[in-house]
Amino acid sequence: MCSIISLGTCLCLQVLLLCSGIQMFAADENVDFRIHVENQTRGRDDVSRRQLRLYQLYSRTSGKHIQVLGRRISAKGEDGDKYAQLLVETDTFGSQVRIKGKETDFYLCMNKKGKLVGKPEGTSKECVFIEKVLENNYTALMSAKYSGWYIGFTKKGRPRKGPKTRETQQDVHFLKRYLKGVAELQRPFKYTTVTKRTKRIRPTKPS
């Protein structure tokens, strides 16, 4: 049996361990996870299944929709305009998207000068944008390569250069508008059908 002194020592050790655990938990509560989330959204997720959507992006300032007219970009498209129909590829995690005009097959990109341009290939990081849902329910699209630069348009539907945009400006606020009868285009997902026969695995007898 433990002596009275050893029993008191054990109790003191338990109290110290409990206090240190509470301190560690309190320290974890003060951790700012926003930095972690921001770092994760900058990276591409090659594991999750990608989703392909077809919709229009309504500009809050021009009152029209973004158009991908080949190499030229504008926000003058009417509802249902063929050049305003955008194929948007998004990752399940990270909110990173690539936007392509359905009619022209050109990608919406932002070059090093902050100018919005259309490109036939969308492999460059200049063609990747981080989708942000704002408190006013509008969506902002920030360049994944040039942090702080957003897709934006003037009241006349002309593109704004990235360095002149801010998240709080109405010029960078958009609403998603799905075409009638079209909500989402999913890429086919390959899977293996599991049957009773595949579940039943008999051990191989040693020869």
pTM listed for this prediction: 0.67
Q: How many CA atoms lie within 13 A of 146 on its CB side?
A: 20
Q: What is the pLDDT of residue 88?
A: 96
Closest by CA position to 107, among listed 130, 90, 124, 91: 124
Residue 184: DSSP 8-state: -
> Where are the chain's structural domains?
48-178
In contact, 98 and 192? CB cutoff 8 Å: no
pLDDT in tens, 17-73: 555 554 543 444 554 544 544 454 445 545 455 789 999 999 999 999 999 999 999
Average pLDDT, the chain: 78
pLDDT digits (tens, 9 = 90+) for 168-198: 999 999 999 998 766 555 444 343 444 455 4
DSSP-derived letter for residue 150 is B
The whole-angstrom distance between residue 49's C-alpha and the CA centroid of its chain comes to 13
Q: Which residue has the higher pLDDT, 205 or 1?
A: 205
* Confidence at residue 49, expressed as pLDDT on a 0 to 100 scale: 59
Q: What CATH architecture is 48-178? A: Trefoil (2.80)
Distance from C-alpha of 190 to C-alpha of 49, rounded to nearest angstrom? 11
Span 124-151, pLDDT tens digits: 999 999 999 999 999 999 999 999 999 9
Q: Which pLDDT value is given to residue 10?
A: 53
The single residue listed with the structure tokens 């002309």 is 158
**pLDDT tens sequence across 61-101:** 999 999 999 999 999 999 999 999 999 998 656 689 999 99
State the pairing for strand pair 51-59/174-178: antiparallel
pLDDT digits (tens, 9 = 90+) for 93-126: 668 999 999 999 999 999 999 999 999 999 999 9
